[in-house]
Structure 1
Amino acid sequence: MLSYQHLYHAGNLADVHKHSTLAWVLDYMTRKDKPLSYIETHGGRGLYDLTADEAVKTGEAEAGIGSVGDWFDEGHPYAAALNACRDEFGDNAYPGSPWIASHLLRGDDVLHVAELHPQEHAALKQAVAGAHIHGQDGFEMAYSLCPPTPRRGLMLVDPSYEVKAEYMDIPRHFAKLAKIWPVGVLMLWYPILTDMRHRGMLRALQTTFPEALTHEVRFAPARDGHRMVGSGMFIVNPPWGLDEALKDLGDAFEQL
């Protein structure tokens, strides 16, 4: 959606869940001396200032990375990305998923990121040097690229979910993309809202991909009236060891 801007939500608890998972997977995949492709369908601006009015207004970053940053020791790839981002842009900077991917990937890896919002697209081009930034629908980009070169790789799907139809469309997209790119790691982030509208989408995905990994965490709303009470990740072809890593992360969320 062209109205959505992630700056209001950057660094919240859902971002902690999503980005720490993404960083772990990228770190694991880059241990193998073979190039990979990274594809992201909804990139946002890639880099955020948590002192911006939009971020301060919602208080989500303060309740998120501002409160739980000590969960991750210096050896965790998410902490490494956070520290590198702050070293370069200041203590109030927060990296979006395209920036995290750009930091963790290597010179022979290939990054493709889509973003339709004109302002977000322009900011993304500045934030993530060396990436292929596409000003088109994310799924259109994904279909045009898959199977990508290099064939080994990862796709992150992280839509705004401002339109309820997205919940119905995603299982269809995942089924088609997995058929085109059967070796790709397909990662989906989804919000858990008070009305639990994600359940139909998740049932459809789990029926199509019975061996995929589902991981959910719950947390209190960031403010009165806020409807998001949790975060979910659905991962097709999950790397070995990810389930154990996410159990540890889930234990940390349970202590909130």
Structure 2
Amino acid sequence: MLSYQHGYHAGNLADVHKHALLAWMLRYLTAKDKPLFYLETHAGRGLYDLAAPEAAKTGEAAAGITRAEPMLPRDHPYRAVLAATRARHGATAYPGSPLVADHFLRPGDSCHLAELHPAEHAALSQASTRATLHKADGLALAHALLPPTPRRGLALIDPSYEVKTEYGDLARLIPQLHAKWNVGVILLWYPILPDERHRPMVRSLQSALPDAISHEVAFTPARPGHGMQGSGMFMVNPPWGTKEEAARLDGLFAKL
């Protein structure tokens, strides 16, 4: 949706969940000396300022990465991304998922980022240095680019879910993408809201892709009236060790 801007939500606990898993997976995948394909369907602007008015208005970063980072293991790859981003862009800089990917991807890897919002796309073009940018519908782009060359790779699908029909659309889309690209790692992030509107989508995906992993964490809403009370990641073909890493994140979120 062209109305969604992630600056109000950057660094929230859903980002911590999503970006910690993404950083761990990318470190694992890039440890092997083989080219990697990376795709994001809803990239956002890539780089955020947690001191900006948008972040201060919602308080989500203060309830999120500010609290969670000290609890992460010192050698966690997510901490390395955070430190590198601050060293380059300043103490209040926060990396969106394109910069998480940018940190790990190597010159021989390929990176494709889709973002439709004009202002977000313009900012992304300044933040990401190694990607091919697409001002296009990310889900249509996924259909067009998959299966990729090289076939080894990861796709992150991270919609805003501003339209309720997205849940049903994604329940149909993810198995289609897997059928085209059966070796690819496909990550679908979803919010957990009080009405649990994600449940039918997750049940449908689990039925279609029984070997996939669905990992969910619960947390207290960032402020009164804020609906999101948890974060989910549906992971197709996750790298070896993902279940153990997810369990470590369970321990982190239990302390928050």
Q: Which band: TM-score by shorter chain?
A: over 0.9
Letter in 2 for 1:84: A
Deviation at 1:73, TM superposition (A): 3.1
Secondary structure at the residue paired with 1:220? Answer: coil
Please give the secondary structure, in 2, of the residue aligned with 1:226.
coil
1:14-53 equivalences under 5 Å are 14-53=14-53
1:201 matched to which residue of 2?
201
Give 1:127-142 correspondences, 5 Å limit: 127-142=127-142
CA separation in 1, counterparts of 2:196 and 2:20?
23
- How far, CA to CA, are the matches of 1:174 and 1:110 in structure 2? 21
Q: Could you tell me the TM-score, scaled by structure 2's length?
A: 0.99
Please list every run of 5 or more consecutive structure 2 residues that lacks an aligned counterpart in the other structure: none
Contact 2:23-2:101 at 8 Å conserved across structures: yes
Matched length: 256
Matches of 1:37 and 1:28 in 2, distance apart? 14
Q: 1:33 offset after TM fit, Å?
A: 0.7
What does residue range 53-68 of structure 1 map to in structure 2 within 5 Å?
A: 53-68=53-68
**SS of equivalent residue, structure 1 residue 15:** helix
Classify the secondary structure of the residue corresponding to 1:186. Answer: strand
> What residue number does 2:9 align with?
9
Gaps of 5+ in 1: none
Query: 1:72 maps to what in 2?
Result: 72
Structure 1's consecutive aligned runs of 4 or more residues displaced over 4 angstroms after TM superposition are: none
Q: Give percent identity, aligned residues only.
A: 61
- 1:222 corresponding residue in structure 2: 222
- Counterpart Cα distance in 2 of 1:60 and 1:162: 18
One-letter amino acid of the structure 2 residue matched with residue 74 of structure 1: R
SS in 2 for 1:228: coil
Separation in 2, partners of 1:83, 1:77:
10
Aligned AA for 1:143? H
Secondary structure in structure 2 of the residue aligned to 1:32:
coil
Kindly report the root-mean-square deviation, in angstroms, between the aligned alpha carbons of the 2 structures. Answer: 0.7
Report if the CA contact (8 A) 2:72-2:252 is conserved: no
Aligned counterpart, 2:248: 248
How far residue 71 of structure 1 moved from its aligned partner, in angstroms, is: 2.1
CA distance in 2: counterparts of 1:252 and 1:72, whole angstroms: 7
Please name the residue that 1:177 is paired with: 177
Give the secondary-structure state (helix, strand or coil) at the position aligned to 1:14: helix
* TM-score of the pair, normalised by structure 1: 0.99
